[in-house]
C-alpha cells in the first residue's frame, strides 16, 4: 500500500496593509499554520528603536508567537547591507524566531526607494545583504528570504536565488510572478521548479493558491513540499487546516464567525476610528469569495463607516473570546 504524502508545511505570508499582527493572530487560531512572517519592517539609514520593532511585531513580547502559539519570523526590507545587519542584530535582542529578508515587494513606493523586488536586478547586492545579515545574526537563529521571479523579467531569477543561498540563507520563498506581473493571475509555479532545482536550500512556493486543488497543483508543478499562503488563506482561513485533512475540509462560517467578531473587538482599541470599518471590510471583501454569510455581512456594512454602527449591525450578540479551533502544528 502506498504511504500517503505528508501534509505540506504551511507558512502565512506577510502582506503590507492586510495581514498584520491582528489578522495573523486571528487566522492562526483556526489552525494548520506552521509559521508566520511579519509585515516588512522598513530599514533605511538608521538604527530603529525597539519600540518600532515591537509596534510592528508585538508577538516579540510573547516569545515571538501568536496567541495560538504559532512562531512569527521578523521580516526586514531595505538596500543597505550594513544598516540591515545592524538592525537585524538589534532585533535579535528582542527574541524573534528568526529574520527574513524581503526581495519581493512590488509596491511602487518601496521600489522607487530601492527596496523589495527592484533589488532582483542586482544579484550582487542581494548577496551582500543576506551575507551581512547572516553574519550579524546569532548562529542559532535562521535567516531566510523571499523573492519574486524577477523585477521586469525572469532573466536573473536563478542568479538571485543562488546569491541568496551562497550568502547563507537557510530557506527561500519564491512568489511565482515578477514585479511587473503584480498580483495578476496566473502565478508561474513551474518557474519555481527551475529555482528549486538550482539551489540546495528548501524552497517554498507562493502565489495564487486559493483552494486545496490550487495547493496540490502548485506543489506538483513547483516540486516544493511547502507553501506560503497569502490572500488565499485570508479568503478562506480554514485553507491550511484543509490541507492537513485527507478529505480537504477546513472550517465553515459558524466556526469562523466568532473569530471575525474577536478580530473586530481586538482592533477597536488599536486602529483609529476612521480606519476601523475599512479594515473589517477589507477582510470581508475577501471572505465573501468563500462564504455566502460574509457576502451578507459585506452588503450590510458596505456603506457604513461609523464603528459603533458596524458593531451594532454585526457584532452586538457575538462572543468576544472564541476558543482556538485547533492547535497549530
Q: What would the pLDDT profile of 91-109 be if each residue is shown by its tens digit?
A: 999 999 999 999 999 988 8
Please work out, in degrees rounded to the nearest 5, the angle formed at the alpha carbon of residue 161 by the alpha carbons of 222 and 155.
85
Q: What is the pLDDT of residues 223-245, one digit of tens each?
A: 999 999 999 999 999 999 999 88
Beta bridge partners of 171: 144
Residue 245 has what pLDDT?
84
Distance CA 206, CA 27 (A): 18
pLDDT at 64 over 50: yes
Work out the average pLDDT over 181-191: 96
Range with lowest mean pLDDT among 169-178, 224-233, 242-251, 317-326: 317-326
Contact between 132 and 161 under an 8 Å Cβ cutoff? The reply is no
State residue 327's pLDDT score: 34
What average pLDDT is seen over the chain?
93
pLDDT for 16 equals: 85
- For residue 103, give the C-alpha cell: 526581495
What is the spatial distance between Cα 74 and Cα 38, in angstroms, rounded to a whole number? 5
CB-based contacts of 229, cutoff 8 Å, min separation 6: 10, 11, 12, 13, 206, 209, 215, 239, 240
User: Which residue in 208, 232, 202, 217 sits closest to 9, CA to CA?
Assistant: 202
d(CA 118, CA 105): 8
Q: In whole angstroms, what is the distance from residue 124 CA to residue 286 CA?
A: 38
Q: State which of 5-19, 183-197, 313-327 shows the largest mean pLDDT.
A: 183-197
Residue tagged 511585531 (cell numbers)? 57
Active-site entry in 36, 83, 92, 105: 105
User: CB–CB of 52/41 below 8 Å?
Assistant: yes
At 271 the three-state DSSP class reads coil
| pLDDT(206) > 50 | yes
pLDDT of 268 strictly over 60: yes
Q: Residue 106's pLDDT is what? A: 92
Residues 6+ apart with CB under 8 A from 22: 263, 266, 267, 270, 271, 279
- Domains of the chain are 9-244 (3.20.20.70), 253-314 (no CATH)
Q: In this predicted model, what pLDDT tens digit does every residue of 277-306 receive, in sequence order?
A: 999 999 999 999 999 999 999 999 999 999
pLDDT, greater one: 329 or 97? 97
Q: What is the predicted pLDDT for the residue at 317?
A: 55
Mean pLDDT (whole number) for 145-152 = 97
- Is 160 in contact with 198 (CB distance < 8 Å)? no
Q: Is residue 52 over pLDDT 90? A: yes
Rounded CA separation 155/236 (Å): 34
- Residue 328 — pLDDT band, cuts 50, 70, 90? very low
Return the pLDDT at 3.
Answer: 59
Cell numbers found for residue 327:
492547535
Q: Report percent pLDDT > 70 for the chain.
A: 94
Cα separation, 24 vs 66, whole angstroms? 8
Q: How far apart are CA 169 and CA 195, in angstroms?
A: 15
Told to judge if 328 belongs to the known catalytic residues of this protein, a careful annotator would answer no
Amino acid at each position: 500500500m502506498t504511504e500517503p504524502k505528508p501534509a505540506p508545511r504551511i507558512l502565512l505570508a506577510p502582506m503590507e496593509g492586510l495581514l498584520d499582527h491582528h489578522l495573523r493572530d486571528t487566522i492562526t487560531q483556526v489552525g494548520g499554520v506552521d509559521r508566520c512572517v511579519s509585515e516588512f519592517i522598513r530599514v533605511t539609514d538608521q538604527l530603529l528603536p525597539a519600540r518600532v520593532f515591537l509596534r510592528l511585531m508585538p508577538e516579540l513580547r510573547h516569545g515571538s508567537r501568536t496567541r495560538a502559539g504559532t512562531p512569527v519570523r521578523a521580516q526586514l526590507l531595505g538596500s543597505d547591507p550594513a544598516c540591515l545587519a545592524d538592525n537585524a542584530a538589534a532585533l535579535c535582542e528582542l527574541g524573534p524566531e528568526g529574520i527574513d529578508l524581503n526581495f519581493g515587494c512590488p509596491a511602487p513606493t518601496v521600489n522607487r526607494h530601492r527596496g523589495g523586488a527592484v533589488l532582483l536586478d542586482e544579484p550582487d547586492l542581494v548577496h551582500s545583504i543576506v551575507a551581512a545579515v547572516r553574519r550579524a545574526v546569532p548562529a542559532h537563529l535562521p535567516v531566510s528570504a523571499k523573492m519574486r521571479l524577477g523585477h521586469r523579467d525572469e532573466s536573473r531569477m536563478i542568479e538571485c536565488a543562488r546569491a541568496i543561498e551562497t550568502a547563507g540563507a537557510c530557506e527561500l520563498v519564491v512568489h511565482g510572478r515578477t514585479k511587473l506581473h503584480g498580483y495578476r493571475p496566473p502565478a508561474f509555479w513551474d518557474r519555481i521548479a527551475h529555482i528549486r532545482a538550482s539551489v540546495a536550500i528548501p524552497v517554498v512556493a507562493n502565489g495564487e493558491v486559493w483552494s486545496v486543488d490550487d495547493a496540490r497543483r502548485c506543489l506538483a508543478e513547483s516540486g516544493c513540499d511547502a507553501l506560503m499562503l497569502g490572500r488565499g488563506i485570508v479568503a478562506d482561513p480554514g485553507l491550511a487546516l484543509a490541507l492537513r485533512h485527507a478529505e480537504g475540509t477546513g472550517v465553515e462560517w459558524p466556526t469562523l464567525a466568532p473569530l471575525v467578531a474577536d478580530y473586530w473587538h481586538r482592533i477597536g482599541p488599536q486602529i483609529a476610528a476612521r480606519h476601523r470599518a475599512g479594515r473589517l471590510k477589507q477582510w470581508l471583501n475577501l471572505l465573501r469569495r468563500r462564504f455566502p454569510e460574509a457576502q451578507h455581512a459585506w452588503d450590510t456594512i458596505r456603506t457604513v463607516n461609523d464603528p459603533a454602527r458596524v458593531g451594532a449591525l454585526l457584532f452586538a450578540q457575538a462572543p468576544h473570546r472564541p476558543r482556538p479551533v485547533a492547535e497549530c502544528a
